[in-house]
């Protein structure tokens, strides 16, 4: 009897560990690149040439559900390095309606989007393409400058969120930070013995 109980407990423990390992936290991230195949990678960039346009891509990742609405804001660097021009929502089946605009320099703007038909969050989901203009205020000598995805303002939320289909439950997500002028990564030449000495 004890062996059977131990076996059942072991199987239950392995099942719980597997469920925990597959759980992912949904998040929103601003990317500086898109390969036109829905593959995004660059979350950091240096200043672009003054008076040239730059597309930024806001993407929802790890949702692992069907989504019928999202709301968020993107707080741009206070330096004014990027000037917001427009939002372009992707063409989706059933269409979409929106309220607001993505960038928020004063934390009073944000964007809420509702979709006519559920969108799949099982792969990276493009929320909007933001057309931006590089200004003369972009100066990497000022150091790193964050672009932060935050909550939709004025409704008491602390994180960006999305609504699941078919039960219309609202989920909170993590708003990630992208970076202008990330700066060089500090490195130094050393030996393997020097590295080991750091941990003695």
- Residue 196 inside a domain? The answer is no
* Residue that the structure tokens 């931006």 belong to: 132
Considering the entire predicted model, what is its pTM? 0.79
- Residue 88 within any structural domain of the chain: yes
> Would 18 be classed as within a structural domain?
no
Range ranked top by mean pLDDT from 7-11, 24-28, 183-187: 24-28
User: Position of tokens 């590089």?
Assistant: 134
| pLDDT class of 191 with cuts at 50, 70, 90 | confident
Query: How many structural domains are present in the chain?
Result: 1
Residue 24 to residues 53, 113, 129, 130: CA-CA distances in angstroms? 34, 23, 24, 26
Q: What is the CATH number of the domain that holds 162?
A: 2.60.40.680
Residue 185, pLDDT score: 55
Does residue 110 lie in a domain region?
Answer: yes
For residues 51-79, average pLDDT: 95
**Any domain includes 173:** yes
Band of the pLDDT at 5, cuts 50, 70, 90?
very low
Say if 52 falls within a structural domain.
yes
Q: Please, are residues 135 and 81 in contact by the beta-carbon 8 Å criterion?
A: yes
> Which has the minimum average pLDDT: 11-25, 31-45, 57-71, 153-167?
11-25
Q: E strands within the chain?
A: 27-31, 44-45, 53-61, 66-75, 82-88, 96-100, 103-104, 111-120, 125-134, 145-150, 161-165, 170-172, 174-175, 177-180
Average pLDDT, integer, range 8-27: 54
pLDDT averaged over the chain? 85
Average pLDDT (65-87) is: 94
pLDDT computed for residue 154 by the predictor: 83
Say whether 6 sits in a helix, a strand or coil: helix
pLDDT class for 148, splitting at 50, 70, 90?
very high
Beta bridge partners of 130: 56, 87
Looking at residue 10, what is its pLDDT?
42
Residue 68, pLDDT above cutoff 60: yes
Exposure on the CB side of residue 87, measured as CA atoms within 13 A: 22
Is the per-residue pLDDT at 3 higher than 80? no
Structure-model confidence comparison of residues 25 and 195, the more confident one: 25
Half-sphere exposure of 78 (CA within 13 A, CB side): 4
Residues spanned by the domain of 43: 25-184
């Amino acid at each position: 009897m004890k062996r059977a109980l131990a076996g059942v407990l072991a199987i239950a423990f392995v099942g719980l560990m597997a469920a925990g390992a597959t759980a992912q936290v949904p998040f929103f991230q601003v990317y500086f690149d898109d390969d036109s195949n829905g593959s995004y990678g660059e979350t950091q960039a240096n200043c672009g040439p003054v008076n040239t346009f730059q597309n930024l891509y806001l993407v929802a990742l790890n949702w692992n559900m069907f989504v019928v609405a999202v709301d968020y804001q993107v707080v741009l660097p206070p330096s004014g390095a990027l000037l917001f021009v427009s939002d372009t929502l992707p063409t989706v089946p059933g269409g979409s309606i929106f309220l607001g605009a993505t960038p928020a320099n004063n934390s009073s703007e944000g964007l809420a989007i509702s979709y006519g038909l559920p969108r799949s969050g099982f792969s990276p989901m493009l929320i909007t393409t933001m057309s931006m203009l590089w200004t003369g205020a972009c100066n990497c000598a000022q150091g790193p400058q964050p672009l932060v995805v935050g909550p939709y303002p004025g409704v008491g939320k602390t994180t960006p969120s999305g609504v699941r289909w078919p039960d219309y439950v609202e989920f909170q997500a993590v708003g990630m930070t992208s970076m202008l002028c990330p700066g060089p990564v500090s490195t130094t030449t050393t030996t393997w013995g020097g590295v080991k000495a750091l941990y003695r």
